[in-house]
Amino acid sequence: MIADYALVFFMKHFNSQCVHADNLTAGIVPMTNKTKLLLIFLFVVTSLPVNATLPMQVDGESLPTLAPMLERSMPAVVNISTSTNVRMQENPLMNDPVFRHFFNIPNRPRQQQRNSLGSGVIVDKDAGFVLTNNHVIDKADVITVTLSDGRQLNAKLLGTDPEADVAVIQIPADNLTALKIADSSHLKVGDFVVAIGNPFGLGQTVTSGIVSALGRSGLGIEGYEDFIQTDASINPGNSGGALVNLRGEFVGMNTAILAPSGGNVGIGFAIPSNMAVKLMESLVQHGEVRRGLLGVTTQDLTPELVKAFNLKGQYGAVVSRIETGSPAEKAGIEPGDIIVAVNGQEIRNGSSQIRTAIGLLQIGDTADLEVMRGEERLKLQATIGKPKRAEIAGESLHPLLKGVALSATTKDQIEGVVMDKIDAKSYAWKTGLRPGDVIISANRYRVRNLDELKQVVNPRSPLLINLQRNGEGFFVVLQ
């Protein structure tokens, strides 16, 4: 401020002198070059204190940094590399030695090795448990974990849950660093988060951002979704890595990105720590997630349904069907009820949120449900039961389905009839049907369960079925 006032005073004085000089008689000597240089020097010197006010430090301390937190957290995030032996598909004629000899075709390996990279998070240093995504280690023959200090360890697979894309592997517990696990239910939109992973195999990389949204579901990325959305960059290779808060605590596991153009656009998704840890406990104990059954089918509320049910708020999901003898029926749930909360969590994302909430419960767990029945809000309690999966022989429906075992399913969020088993010698196998195929329509009628399939199949006529396989659909005619 003093420098500013000095400069103003100087300029006023200089201007007054100039004006005054312009009015002098011609006999007076004008200002010399030496005087001009002196005035310029005084102007520069007077201005120097203004530029010198930029500090190198704040109150004697260095500027804020995340480095100390990352130094503690990064050793708990590991690189995971896998190798998988894949049998190469080739023309059956290639297996004929006479054909190969006649055309002088050299012998080639029938297996090809595929490698992939990802990340993982050490969550228990004493037991050596490492959390990662199922798609990182899926079908891997060898899993190798590389620690931040350069050690490479062979990992043992303890269990996977493809529906939620979670897997647990174990490494020798020797001088490991684990992340402290935070309660992800305390996260709020706007909280700062940091993503740690191994994108593109470059080594450990850190990106930062905020929590953009919570409870994201219905995206079709996984079977059970309750994602944290963040704008921290999550790139290929980050999968299975850690999303941490500014205290370096594990709040989520990096899983996916929304990338219409093939690159990161600031929309990444992470599985909440509460969900990942709960699934991990089941995988460690049982090697699988033993999901239970509530026994309801729900549908999302539309503006028309909200009006028809005379609802004040447009949230929840309406019960459209109840299985006979199911926990839902025993709890007193009725068709037309609007489920608005499960275990204290409001249902804001419709059927997909209910499916995830129930899917995280084990057989024997209690589900506290709040439902709207008319204008009355009821609190009901159901005990999650063991899934009942009725299975029938395919020939009981149609002779051309002989050797096929069928059951109702909700696979990849699609209701239909799944082919559990297929005899490799059967007509169905030769036609191209494979275990895991889901029938979603038969003879141009939509089918969601075995009863609906039975109604549209004529055992004396050809059978036209529409199948879903690995996200793709196609028709097959059995005749």
CA distance 245 to 216: 19
Give yes or no for a contact between 320 and 208, defined as CB atoms under 8 angstroms apart. Answer: no
Confidence label for 258 from pLDDT (cuts 50, 70 and 90): confident
Is the pLDDT score of 241 beyond 60?
A: yes
What pLDDT band is residue 192 in, cutting at 50, 70 and 90?
Answer: very high
**Nearest-angstrom CA–CA distance, 396 and 144:** 48
Q: Which tokens belong to 380?
A: 């009901």
pLDDT at residue 405 is higher than 70: yes
Mean pLDDT score across all residues of the chain? 79
Amino acid in the structure at residue 200: F
**In contact, 428 and 434? CB cutoff 8 Å:** no
In our burial notation (b when 16+ CB lie closer than 10 A, e otherwise), range 376-406 reads eeeebebebbeeeeeebebeebbebbebbbb
User: In the chain, helix, strand, coil percent, each to 5?
Assistant: 25, 35, 40
Q: What Å distances lie between residue 338 and 81, 182, 345, CA to CA?
A: 46, 33, 14
Query: Taking the mean position of all CA atoms in its chain, how far away is CA 100?
Result: 47
**Residue-wise over 17-26: b if at least 16 C-beta within 10 A, else e?**
eeeeeeeeee
Q: What is the pTM of this model?
A: 0.64
Q: How far is CA 296 from the centre of its chain?
A: 26
- Which residue type is seen at 96? D
What local confidence, expressed as pLDDT, does residue 2 receive? 40
Q: Are 229 and 349 in contact (CB under 8 A)?
A: no
322 CB neighbour count, 10 Å cutoff: 19
Burial 182-214 (b: 16+ CB within 10 A, else e): bebeebeeeeebbbbbbbeeeebbbbebebbeb
* Predicted pLDDT at 200: 65
Q: Which of 45-54, 134-143, 364-373 has the lowest mean pLDDT?
A: 45-54
Closest to 235 in 3D by CA, of 193, 199, 197: 199
Q: Which pLDDT belongs to residue 369?
A: 93
The DSSP line for 311-324 is: -SS--SEEEEEE-T
pLDDT of residue 19: 37
Banded model confidence at residue 158, pLDDT cuts 50, 70, 90: very high
pLDDT score, position 4: 42
Helices H / strands E in the chain, number of each? 11, 26
Q: What is the pLDDT of residue 183?
A: 93
Q: Give the pLDDT of residue 22.
A: 35
Q: Which residue has the higher pLDDT, 268 or 95?
A: 268
Do you know the residue count of the chain?
479
Predicted confidence (pLDDT) at residue 151 exceeds the cutoff of 80: yes
pLDDT value of position 96: 63
pLDDT category of residue 12 using cuts at 50, 70 and 90: very low
Q: What does the pLDDT average to over 360-369?
A: 87
What pLDDT was estimated at residue 36? 47
Q: What is the pLDDT of residue 97?
A: 67
Give the pLDDT of residue 61: 66
- Give the span between the Cα atoms of 138 and 146, in whole angstroms: 18
Provide CB contacts within 8 A for 114, sequence distance 6+.
83, 84, 86
Q: Mean pLDDT across the stretch 406-429? A: 79
pLDDT tens by residue, 271-280: 999 999 999 9
pLDDT attached to residue 170: 94
The arithmetic mean of pLDDT across residues 82-98, rounded, is: 62
User: Residue 194: pLDDT above 60?
Assistant: yes
How confident is the model at residue 18, as a pLDDT?
40
* Bigger pLDDT: 328 vs 1: 328
In whole angstroms, what separates CA 278 from the centre of its chain? 16
Q: Partners of 409 in the beta sheet?
A: 416
Q: Which run of H or of E encompasses 26? A: none
* SS3 sequence of the chain: CHHHHHHHHHHHHHHHHHHHHHCCCCCCCCCCHHHHHHHHHHHHHHHHHHHCCCCCCECCECCCCCHHHHHHHHHHEEEEEEEEEEECCCCHHHHCHHHHHHCCCCCCCCEEEEEEEEEEEEEECCCCEEEECHHHHCCCCEEEEECCCCCEEECEEEEEECCCCEEEEECCCCCCCCCCECCHHHCCCCCEEEEEECHHHCCCEEEEEEEEEEEECCCCCCCCCCEEEECCCCCCCCCCCEEECCCCCEEEEEEEECCCCCCCCCCEEEEEHHHHHHHHHHHHHHCCCCECECCEEEEECCHHHHHHCCCCCCCCEEEEEECCCCHHHHHCCCCCCEEEEECCEECCCHHHHHHHHHHCCECCCEEEEEEEECCEEEEEEEECECCCCCEEEHHHCCHHHCCEEEEEEEECCEEEEEEEEECCCCHHHHHCCCCCCEEEEECCEECCCHHHHHHHCCCCCCEEEEEEECCEEEEEEEC
At 368, the pLDDT band (50, 70, 90 cuts) reads very high
- Please state the rounded mean pLDDT for residues 138-151: 88
Rounded to an integer, the average pLDDT of 208-230 is 85
Among 38-42, 268-272, 317-321, 335-339, where is mean pLDDT lowest?
38-42
Positions marked active-site: 135, 165, 239
What is the per-residue pLDDT for 77?
93
Greater confidence (379 vs 290) lies with 379
pLDDT top residue among 40 and 161: 161
Query: Which DSSP string corresponds to 38-76?
Result: HHHHHHHHHHHHHHTT--SSBTTBPPP-SHHHHHHHGGG
CA distance 176 to 147: 9
Average pLDDT for 213-235: 83
Residue 473 pLDDT > 50: yes
**Mean pLDDT of all residues in 227-232:** 92
pLDDT band at residue 408 under the 50/70/90 scheme: confident
Percent with pLDDT over 90 in the chain: 28
Output the pLDDT for position 284.
92
Give the rounded percent of residues in the chain with a pLDDT score beyond 70.
Answer: 76
Identify the pLDDT of residue 11. 42
